[in-house]
Amino acid sequence: MSERLVELAKAWMADDPDAESRHELAAIVARSIAGDAAATADLNERFAAPLEFGTAGLRGLIGAGPGRMNVATVMQAAAAVARDALQQLPDAATRGVVIGRDARIKSDVFARAAAEVFAAHGMHVYWIAKASPTPVCAFLGRAKGAAAVCIVTASHNPPDYNGFKVYGPTASQIVPPQDERIRDLRAALEPTLAIPRRTFSEAVREGLIEIVGHQDLLAYLQAIDAQCLGDYPPPAQVAAVTTALHGVGHTWVADALTRRGHRHLFAVLAQASPDGRFPTVRFPNPEEKGALDLALELARAKAADVVLANDPDTDRLCVAVRDASSPTSYRVLTGNETGLLLADWILTEGPKKAGRDGLEAWPDKPFVACSLVSTAMLEPLAAMRGATYAEVLTGFKWIWHKALEVAPAGATFVYGFEEALGYCVGRAVRDKDGVGAAQAMMDLAAFEKAQGRTLLDRLDAIALAIGVSHTDQVTLTLPGLEGMARIARVMKTWRASPPETLGGLAITRRRDLASADAEAAGLPRGDVLTWWRADGSRVIARPSGTEPKLKVYVETKSAVTAGDLATARTAAKASCEAISGDIRARIAAID
C-alpha cells in the first residue's frame, strides 16, 4: 500500500461529482490499505498520469481516477474545450457545440455531463438525443456552423473503453495548436466540483440546450446522397450482407443504401441493435479475427456478393467479396485494397458524373490523401488519374487538415483514406464516414456486376495498371504502464540502433519523424520510424494513439511481367512475410 496513492485517491473522491465512481474508488482504496497488491497496482495505473488528447481526443478505460474515462474527466475536457472556443471565437456562444454519442457503456451519462458544462459556460448546445454515428454528428457540426463538436465514443475499442472526440470550428478533428491550448486550459482548471454545470432540464427550459430534430438528421443522408457517383437506380442489384457489430449504424446504413436503390440487403439481426456490451464479438473491430463470423455465415446462406461491416460508431467500413471460384468463399479486403478501389472509382467516375444530376462540377485540381501508414500505391494511382496527392500523419484529422491547407492554392479534396478501414468519399463530412463509404462501395459493386465483373476484378485491373503491393501489420498489444514502458523501449532501441537489414535485404533509407526529418518531409513531428529497402519495400513503426499497441506496417512491391499477377503477388507476399518475421524476432529480443 502506498500512502501517496491513497491520499491521491481520497482527494479525487472528494472532488468527484459521480457517486458511482466514488464508491468504485473507495472499494479499491480499502483493498489497497488491507494489503491487496493488485488493488495498489490498479491505483497506480489510475493515478500515474491523466488521460491526454491523442489521435482522436481522449480515450481510455471506463473507471474512477484521472487516468480513466469518467464524469469528472469528461467535465474537465468539456470545460477546457468550451473555454478555448470562447477565447478564440467572438461568436462561439451563439455558434454553439454539437454533442453526440454512441451506444457504449456510460456514453449517455458522459454526453449529458458535457452538455451541462457547455450550457453553464453560455454556449448553445445542439443535443442529438439518440445514439448516432460519428459521421452524422460531425456533419451536423458543419451544417450548424458550430464552434465545436464533441462526441462520446471509443470507436472500435473493447467494451470497457470510452472516449471524448473533439472537432473544431472547421468541423474537422482538432490539431495543434488547438489541442495544445485545450490541454493547457484543462491543466489549469479549478476543482471539478467548482466547474460550472447547469442541470440538463434547466438548460433545455432556458433554450441553452436544443434537441436536434429529425430534419437536421435527414440532411446528413441528403448530403451523402448528393456526392454519390453511381447511377440511380443501380445498373444491377448487388446482394449485400450488412452488420453494425452492435453499434449505431444499422438503420443509417440501411436507409442510405435503399435511398440509392439497393434492395437486396440482408442484415445480421443479432448484431443490429446497439449494445455497448458487444455480446457476440470478442472485440468490436471488423479487422479482428472472428468479428465477421456471423456476417460471413449469413453471406454464405444468402449467396451474397459482398459483406459490409461497420465498427460501433460507424465511421469505418470493412468489405468482404465473394470469390468467383466458390459460392461459399469470401475474401476480406484489407483497408488498403478498399481504399484503392474507392479512390479509383471516384477518380474515374468523378470527371464523368460530376456537374450532372445536381452534382458539383469536377474540380480542376482534384486532391487525394492518405495516412503515411497506408499503402504507397495511392500516389501512382492518383498520378494516373490526374489528381494531386499527399501523405499525412496517422489519424484522419491530418487528412482534413491537409485538405483545408491546400484549398487556398486551388486544390479541392475529393477523397482520403487510412488503412485502418477509414474512408472519406467526398466533402459532406470532414472525417471518415462508414455510411458514405458503404454507399460508394455498393455503387461500385453494382457498376462492376452490370459489366459481368466483381470488385476483385477491379482490383486486378488496378494492379495491372500501377503494379502489385502486399501489406501486413505486426502488432504488439501491451496494456498498462508496463506495456507503455516496453513499447517506449522498443522505439528507443530502434532509434538508437536501427536495423541494417530486414528480411535479408539492406535498409537504404531511414526517416525519424521525431527529428528534423519531419520538417524535411513536410510533416508534423511524431513518434514514427520509417525504413526503406532498395527494392521499394517500406516498414513503418509507431505506437498507437488510441490503443495500448505498438504497430509496425510492412509493404512490399513487385513488378508485373506479361500480365502475370499471380507470380507478382506471390513474390510480394513472400517478401512481406520475410520482413514481418524479422520484425517479430527483433521485438521479442527487446526486453
Phi, psi dihedral angles at 125 (to 5 degrees): -110, 125
Phi, psi dihedral angles at 251 (to 5 degrees): -65, -35
Residue 155 catalytic? yes
Grid cell digits, residue 438: 458503404
Give the length of the chain.
591
**How far is 533 from 514, CA to CA, in rounded Å?**
21
- Cβ atoms of 180 and 171 within 8 Å: the answer is no
Question: Of 336, 288, 318, whose CA–CA distance to 472 is shortest?
Answer: 336
> Max alpha carbon distance in the chain (Å)?
73
**How far is 65 from 51, CA to CA, in rounded Å?**
10
Catalytic residue selected from 132, 155, 537, 580: 155
**DSSP letters along 112-174, please?**
HHHHHHHHHTT--EEE--S---HHHHHHHHHHHT-SEEEEE--TTS-TTEEEEEEE-TTSSB-
**How far is 473 from 540, CA to CA, in rounded Å?**
9
Grid cell digits, residue 213: 430534430
**How far is 105 from 276, CA to CA, in rounded Å?**
5
- How is residue 237 annotated by DSSP? P
Facing residues of 240 across strands? 265, 306
Scanning the structure block, which residue is given the C-alpha cell 471539478? 192
Q: Which residues are identified as catalytic?
A: 155
